[in-house]
Amino acid sequence: MRVGALRETAIGEHRVALDPEVVVRLVKDGREVVVESGAGTAASFPDASYERAGAQILSRAEVIATSDVLAVVRCPEASVVSALRSDQLLIGLLDPLNNLPVIETLAAKRVTAVAFELLPRTVSRAQSMDALSSQASAAGYRAAIVAAEAFGRYLPMMITASGTARPASVIVIGTGVAGLQAIATARRLGAVVTGYDVRADSREQVESLGAQFLTSSITAGAGEGGYARAMTAEEQAGQQAELAAALKSFDVIITTAKVPGRTPPLLVSAETLAALKPGSVCIDLAASDRGGNVAGSIDRERVVTPGGVIVVGAGELAADMPTSSSQMYARNVLAMINDLVTDDAIAFDLADEVRSAVVLCHAGQVTSRAVRTALKLDPVLDPPQDPLHAGQPEVPEAAAAASITIEFDPKNGQAA
């Protein structure tokens, strides 16, 4: 079985899907590893470090052509997708709900694609594969550092011979994985920190980090799977008004609020920005080409409002801490490979709780319920249409696809 890693090509993406440490572990497990030349350079892993770990350095085309399992960080570009062949396994943060045509193409090419975004994160077996959390954690940490760097004042209280500086007040809006890490880091930097979220259980998590919790009238914000639900228009308006009044007094605002598959909610309006003190800083971790939590934030850009507020669009902040982020991500990839691949074969029991969620397409079909719903296909989970359920006598072909084993010829790494 040959595992490959490609150089990432998205603008500003410095991470890599495999690091040398994970290569050592893959090789120890009897896998061959191939890495595109230069894939790890931006994450401070030169080609030589992969070679020392036991990987072979190849060209991009060679990695694509010869890998059985291709690990990526972000959804690959069209030229890679079109070069993939049947029975290859693609693993990454494929952002499936925003890349539906790509998933359809992968299905048509009979590639098996796995997206970390759809992992059932609360299942204990899945936690070592939780790339959303590992990357959110890095992004949250980094958000506090970027805020400290952009802010023109001290974050901690400073008592010096030249006078005393009061500590900065920081609010973190959205206290999931990234938000809690941002709170912890801002506290370590000495700021006075407040957290805010619409999920009722977030108060306890915020307070356990020694931060205050901003109480809001919107408390029933939890939706499916522990995620926030989308607010109604009325709730959104009420929330914006409440936040506008509260946010004026903060020096630094870090926003991380997301609702899966939806446009991020706008939480810091243009009016709120205009009311902030000059020199205040907003770090928007939800910034994307679909909008963000802060009015006017542009991903990967730093803009200064006419009122002197610094707005940093930081939708992929983990990519700016590429060494640690890649090390964590590579461990998630390793855990996923070890879960999916046994005895040198990709063995899928797609009725399994984790696999049925993360496998987007397999054996020529879109298998993920979330993706099928987004594509307006019949939801898969009701037999007899369901290719995930093996052994349905009514649909022998689909049933055969459900529990498929792809054996690999150890000599050439190709499906036998």
Nearest-approach distance from CB 110 to ligand NAD, in angstroms = 31
Residue 133 annotated to the active site = yes
Is 226 a binding residue for ligand NAD by CB under 6 A? The answer is yes
Task: Closer to ligand NAD by CB, 78 or 123: give it.
Answer: 123
What whole-number distance in Å separates Cα of residue 3 and Cα of residue 70? 6
Stretch that binds ligand NAD, among 49-57, 112-120, 196-204, 364-372 (CB under 6 A): 196-204
Q: Give the dihedral of Cα atoms 313, 314, 316, 317; nearest 10 deg.
A: 160
Residue 227 annotated to the active site = yes
Q: For residue 152, count CB atoms less than 10 angstroms from its CB and return exposed for 0-12, middle for 13-18, buried for 19 or more.
A: exposed
Among 79, 122, 215, 249, binds ligand NAD (CB under 6 A): 122
What whole-number distance in Å separates Cα of residue 262 and Cα of residue 229? 10
Task: Closer to ligand NAD by CB, 239 or 385: give it.
Answer: 239
Stretch that binds ligand NAD, among 130-138, 307-315, 368-376, 402-410 (CB under 6 A): 130-138
Per residue, the 3-state secondary structure of 201-222, as one string, reads: CHHHHHHHCCCEECCCCCCCCE
What whole-number distance in Å separates Cα of residue 100 and Cα of residue 373? 11
Q: Which of 88, 133, 169, 181 is catalytic?
A: 133
Give the E-state strand segments of 237-307 in sequence order: 252-255, 281-284, 302-304
Peptide bond into 410 cis (omega under 30): no
**Nearest Cα to Cα of residue 370 among 77, 94, 87, 127:** 94
Is 266 a binding residue for ligand NAD by CB under 6 A? The answer is no
Q: Which of 130, 251, 299, 386 is catalytic?
A: 130
Is 256 a binding residue for ligand NAD by CB under 6 A? The answer is yes
3 state SS of 268: strand
Is 121 a binding residue for ligand NAD by CB under 6 A? The answer is yes
What whole-number distance in Å separates Cα of residue 65 and Cα of residue 303? 43
Is 106 a binding residue for ligand NAD by CB under 6 A? The answer is no
Stretch that binds ligand NAD, among 6-14, 122-130, 312-320, 389-397 (CB under 6 A): 122-130
Is 154 a binding residue for ligand NAD by CB under 6 A? The answer is no
Q: Which of 29, 49, 110, 121 is catalytic?
A: 121
Among 168, 228, 321, 363, binds ligand NAD (CB under 6 A): 228
Task: Closer to ligand NAD by CB, 183 or 228: give it.
Answer: 228
What whole-number distance in Å separates Cα of residue 106 and Cα of residue 176? 31
Residue 130 annotated to the active site = yes
Q: H or E element: which one contains 69? A: strand 69-74
Task: Closer to ligand NAD by CB, 154 or 227: give it.
Answer: 227
Is 81 a binding residue for ligand NAD by CB under 6 A? The answer is no
What whole-number distance in Å separates Cα of residue 183 and Cα of residue 357? 31
Catalytic residues: 121, 127, 130, 133, 227
Give the residues lining the site for ligand NAD (CB under 6 A): 121-122, 127, 130, 132-133, 136, 173-179, 197-199, 202, 226-228, 231, 256-260, 265, 267
